[in-house]
Structure 1
Amino acid sequence: MTNYKPQRSHPEWTRIEAFVKDACSLAAPKTTYTASLLLTVTSAFALWCVADQGWPLQADVIFSRQAIDMYCSQENPDRSEGTRRNYRAILMRVSEVVAPEEHPDAMTPLSRKRIAEPYSNEEMDEFSLWAVGQNSTEKRRRAMLMLAFCAGAGLKSSDVSTIYPDDVVVDNLGITITVGGTNPRLVPLEGQWETWMIAILAQVPRDIPIWGKPNRTLDGKLLSSFTQYTVGQRPRGDRLRATWSVDHLRAGTRIKELMRALGVDKFESLPRYLEFVDALDDDCYRTELRGEVRP
């Protein structure tokens, strides 16, 4: 245990090393976990608390149930449910040993379905610059297409690779995208992305998907596999899709039509999306509901 160092060096490690190793040394005899596993999980957690959150290096703060709850529920949302449950169990066991008084509050159930957080307008502006700033024609086209499909039409990663040029129709009402597969639907493209889409359609062959031939068969990983080789701060497909949903809710798009574009019969995540929609002030609230409601 004394020779342990994190696989990735961090400038804060020297400051927290003794704290982490002391905690794991106390907990190890009272747990079934190996010292290596305790150190790996606890060191990553402590670095997050100190370096990312700026919390003081105190056992009752770092190993509080609230801190563990935040870390396991929010940090690195790409982790599987099973991994997060295991991390929570390990950290809770350490906490019970080194901070036994810090267990008053109920934990957030990990089974609660979460949603990706939407991007701000400023972040979306940055991603537009990210797309046009890629270092090859193909990367620029795919980056622009990712933003248009996900932030402009709410498409999933698994949808993107299935769209052919003939699935995109341009007419006097704008642009529509026909999505096939197991969730077929017709989705209007937001107007702000139409110029990009028209330019892309003029560049691609008609007999293959607009995205091109993907390098992997797992369509659900298509976008993340692409963005990892791009330059700059890259967007996430699920957050772009959340941005599209929240933007429409903020604009007052009818829920039924939004569900139609999403291709869903139930909008179970609606309450969590509405958390990102500002409430009206009292005057606007009254005006909104005072108007005629019958068509």
Structure 2
Amino acid sequence: MSDTKLLESALRLYQAKSSASEWTTIGPFVLETARAAAPLVSYPPRRIIHALCNLARACVELGWPLETATALRREVIDFAVSNQMPNLSAGSRTCVRPILLRIAEAIGPEGTPRRLAALPGSEPSRPYTSEELGELAWWARTQSGRWRCGSALALVSLGAGAGLTSSELLHLRYGDLIREPRGTTIEVRGPRTRRVPLLAQWESPLVEACRDLDERDWVFRPGPRGHHLNLVTNFIAKSAGAPSARPNMQRLRATWLILHISAGTHLIALSRAAGFSSLESLNRFMPFADAPMDELADAELRHAM
């Protein structure tokens, strides 16, 4: 079979494995990029498609445009593979990264740096204000039907209260919520396994969200379902009475991170709770955090123990 036929066969396979709504979003970018890159790189077509589909999903979740000039920047690829592909094992990410970097070298934007730089801040990382969080809580409670209301409350509570990603929300069961006298701790499963203490202000909404759930029930959208990331975006898109600040898991996670940074939470502890592999991942959130007063900063720097 020719390389062109192998590529088209791989494209049809991945289209069939994706939902219609997801492929409508990522398909044009994957098709165009794969067809342009395949003659220029030495990887099999199915591996090219696999890598591009994961990159496209990551960009959609992060709110970045699916354009070659953005998605094929080396720093974007590095951040997406390191932080936004929890569905892949460490070994799979190790394989996907060089494929994407080779595609970037072949057809990426001119001037792409050879050395990876820190990812610049992006609009989806802008935190919600306290007023906007109030609107989101109101939006969640006004959804029609018990399960839609509970799922909306869980989405907001676990995003703003524990910094979960869309994928982590989709894989969370009620039994993963550990109730302790001092508060709730979230047992996050998957590639970035960790324990995350829930912010106290979101305890009550989460209890309300999980009313009547059993240990094995999904916290978000209980009942039979898949785990495609578009389940979250579709749920939001079909919700009633969307507030001016639309629900977005990436912004909810950013709100949680920036609140902790501003409050002086130990950055190593915060990085671990967020599932980051290094403190560098916190850099893009720093511009939004409140700086301590000069006098307080001086005292802390002078009297650190």
TM interval, shorter chain, is 0.5 to 0.7
Please state how far the C-alpha of 1:164 moved relative to its aligned partner. 1.4
C-alpha distance 137-280 of structure 1, shift in aligned 2 (>3 A): same
2:68 is matched with 82
User: Would the aligned equivalents of 2:173 and 2:216 in 1 still touch at CA under 8 Å?
Assistant: yes
Q: Which structure has more RCO (C-alpha within 8 Å, separation ≥ 6)?
A: 2
What's the CA shift string for 1:5-25, capped at 9, x where partnerless? xxxxxxxxxxxxxxxxxxxxx
Q: How far apart in 1 are the matches of 2:203 and 2:226?
A: 28
2:253 is matched with 241
> CA RMSD of the aligned region, Å?
2.7
Which of 207, 211, 216 lines up with 1:202 in the alignment? Answer: 211
2:159 is matched with 150
1:223 has 2:232 as partner: yes
TM-score relative to the length of structure 2? 0.58
User: Would the aligned equivalents of 2:154 and 2:206 in 1 still touch at CA under 8 Å?
Assistant: yes
User: Would the aligned equivalents of 1:168 and 1:177 in 2 still touch at CA under 8 Å?
Assistant: yes
User: Would the aligned equivalents of 2:171 and 2:227 in 1 still touch at CA under 8 Å?
Assistant: no
2:190 maps to a residue whose letter is G
Which of 176, 179, 190 lines up with 1:167 in the alignment? Answer: 176
Q: How far apart in 1 are the matches of 2:71 and 2:177?
A: 43
2:188 is matched with 179
User: Would the aligned equivalents of 1:214 and 1:222 in 2 still touch at CA under 8 Å?
Assistant: no
What's the CA shift string for 1:196-237, capped at 9, x where partnerless? 22233332133331221464441x333212100112223101
1:190 is matched with 199
1:281 has 2:287 as partner: no
C-alpha distance 285-157 of structure 1, shift in aligned 2 (>3 A): same
1:92-171 equivalences in 2 (<5 Å): 113=119, 114-115=121-122, 116-171=125-180
Please state how far the C-alpha of 1:261 moved relative to its aligned partner. 0.6
What's the CA shift string for 1:234-293, capped at 9, x where partnerless? 3101000000000000010001110111122213232221111132333232223233x2
**Number of residue pairs matched by the alignment:** 197
Please state how far the C-alpha of 1:160 moved relative to its aligned partner. 0.8
Q: How far apart in 2 are the matches of 1:265 and 1:279?
A: 24
User: Would the aligned equivalents of 2:271 and 2:282 in 1 still touch at CA under 8 Å?
Assistant: no
1:261 has 2:273 as partner: yes
What's the CA shift string for 1:26-61, capped at 9, x where partnerless? xxxxxxxxxxxxxxxxxxxxxxxxxxxxxxxxxxxx
2:93 is matched with none
User: Would the aligned equivalents of 1:179 and 1:187 in 2 still touch at CA under 8 Å?
Assistant: yes
Q: How far apart in 2 are the matches of 1:290 and 1:85?
A: 44
Q: How far apart in 2 are the matches of 1:171 and 1:85?
A: 42
User: Would the aligned equivalents of 1:161 and 1:214 in 2 still touch at CA under 8 Å?
Assistant: no
SS of the counterpart of 1:176? Answer: strand
Q: Where do 4+ consecutive residues of structure 1 move more than 6 Å?
A: none
C-alpha distance 160-274 of structure 1, shift in aligned 2 (>3 A): same
1:265 maps to a residue whose letter is S
Q: How far apart in 2 are the matches of 1:205 and 1:77?
A: 33
TM-score relative to the length of structure 1? 0.60
1:236 maps to a residue whose letter is N
Please state how far the C-alpha of 1:82 moved relative to its aligned partner. 1.5
Q: Return the index of the structure with the highest Cα Rg.
A: 1
C-alpha distance 84-122 of structure 1, shift in aligned 2 (>3 A): same
User: Would the aligned equivalents of 1:153 and 1:190 in 2 still touch at CA under 8 Å?
Assistant: yes
C-alpha distance 182-274 of structure 1, shift in aligned 2 (>3 A): same
